Amino acid sequence: MPLIQVSTSARLSLVEQIVEQLRKLVDKRTLHAGTKMTSIRLFAQQHAVSVHTVAEAYERLVALGYFESRPRSGFFIRNPHQPEQKRNPTQSFAKAFDHLWQLRSHLINEDGLLNVTSGKLPSDWMDADMIKASLKSVSSKIDSGLLQYGDPYGYLPLRSLLQSRLGNLGIHTQLDQVLLTNGASQSIDLIIRYLLRPGDKALVDDPGYFNLFSNLQLQGIEPLPVRRNHDGPDLDMLEQLARQHRPSVMFTQSVLQTPTGSTISAGNAYRLLRLAEQYDFRIVENDVYADMLSEPVPRIAALDQLARVLYVGSFSKTLSVSARVGYVAASPTEIRDLANVKMITSITSAQLAERFVFHALTEGLYRRSVERLRLRLSNSMAETEEALKPLGFQFFCRPLGGKFVWIRHPDFENSSDIWKLAGEAGIVVAPGKVFRSGMQETPWFRLNVSYGTDPALLKFFKSIC
């Protein structure tokens, strides 16, 4: 590729130089649609740059619509200005299952393997006494209301309590701005059904939440991946995508993002809102790990006060994964419409579970339980870093809390190779590609720090490093 010249003294980064020059070559038709691109390794050799630099540039060009990634074949030029072919709904339906490998391993482990990527915490970390006490409180207060469907908006006392909790985050709401759901996954599903239609495009974190990608693809929505940095989305890349594709929605996690553990900076949150206003797209802020963070950090919804942001939360991560209670905070009109969608698709939510959560939150047990969980995770985070850094593992960032780190080892270009070796050792390490909307290979993978110093895992890592 002699037409490309890069320099370490240029104003732009090496990645940006490669991206911009290749975009111009495609726009000028110097590179024709359908042409196979030089392999990542050969391109790196020809231009004396790292393989990682070229891989990142190619992935950006895929996101921008200039390249197409074909599994086991490489990268091919495509013309982003040509009208897109009509999508085959059967293909979208089939593609939606690409990420289910991670969800299956998350929920089903018939072989009893050590799953160090799963979001599950060890059973003895969960507060069984709190759950027993809360269930006892619910059973002692059973009334005729529990024999009925319940309010489609959700259990009124819990919604009132959520107003106060949201206020503590700087998100000020009225009662008609809160809708309870069967977990955050249903919240996201309702929002997708409400805001998007088949053929639409939506901005997403890259890497990001695998189940979101499956849901979008199942409903015929094309994800537009935005590279995640340690301080939030890559906003330059986001602006390019927004200018070219004019998406109507962005789905993002501002705090303790999965899988990277990164948290958006205040400056990036402000700029993200400005871009949303400029290019007229909504922001769906998924904050399911809010209670795992003790220090105050900016929420996009607090800066915006739900004018353009729909805020999603849940108690499944800290109370119990069996307590499928989540919520959406948005404008009154949006909450009314989302409640209608909820009634159409599921009639109402489980009032029994909502009452259970309410008692756990109001009887003082939840706060103490979460404080203990935060401390335990913080200690595990430090111990995991101390154990893995001497083995050569690199950490994407130092999370402010939570249970995940996004790591890589320089000896492995693809984390799929680690996944295969781990499987032979009886350990599940999900390849990082399952956290990318297009399933592109990556050297990074997610690790749950509650298993970060498990003797079997450390023995395996020492054997391959």
pLDDT, tens only, 181-231:
999 999 999 999 999 999 999 999 999 999 999 999 999 999 999 999 999
What is the C-alpha to C-alpha distance for residues 181 and 97, in angstroms, rounded to an integer?
24
pLDDT, tens only, 243-275:
999 999 999 999 999 999 999 999 999 999 999
* pTM, 2 dp: 0.83
* pLDDT of the residue at 153: 96
> Which residue segments constitute the domains of the chain, with CATH numbers given?
14-77 (1.10.10.10), 97-125+367-464 (3.90.1150.10), 128-365 (3.40.640.10)
Structure tokens at 406: 């996004």
- Confidence category of residue 111, pLDDT binned at 50, 70, 90: low
pLDDT, tens only, 406-448:
999 999 999 999 998 998 898 999 899 999 998 888 999 999 9
Q: Are 264 and 243 in contact (CB under 8 A)?
A: no
Rounded mean pLDDT, 236-247? 95
- Confidence category of residue 110, pLDDT binned at 50, 70, 90: very low
> Would you mind telling me the total number of residues written for the chain in this entry?
465
Decide if pLDDT at 401 tops 60.
Answer: yes
CA 66 to chain centre: 24
What is the C-alpha to C-alpha distance for residues 386 and 6, in angstroms, rounded to an integer?
37
Structure tokens at 431: 């390849």
Amino acid identity, residue 131?
A: I
- Confidence category of residue 139, pLDDT binned at 50, 70, 90: confident
User: Across the chain, what does the average pLDDT equal?
Assistant: 89
Rounded mean pLDDT, 71-84? 76
* pLDDT of the residue at 248: 96
* pLDDT of the residue at 95: 55
What is the C-alpha to C-alpha distance for residues 225 and 60, in angstroms, rounded to an integer?
9
Decide if pLDDT at 86 tops 60.
Answer: no
Decide if pLDDT at 93 tops 80.
Answer: no
Rounded mean pLDDT, 148-168? 93
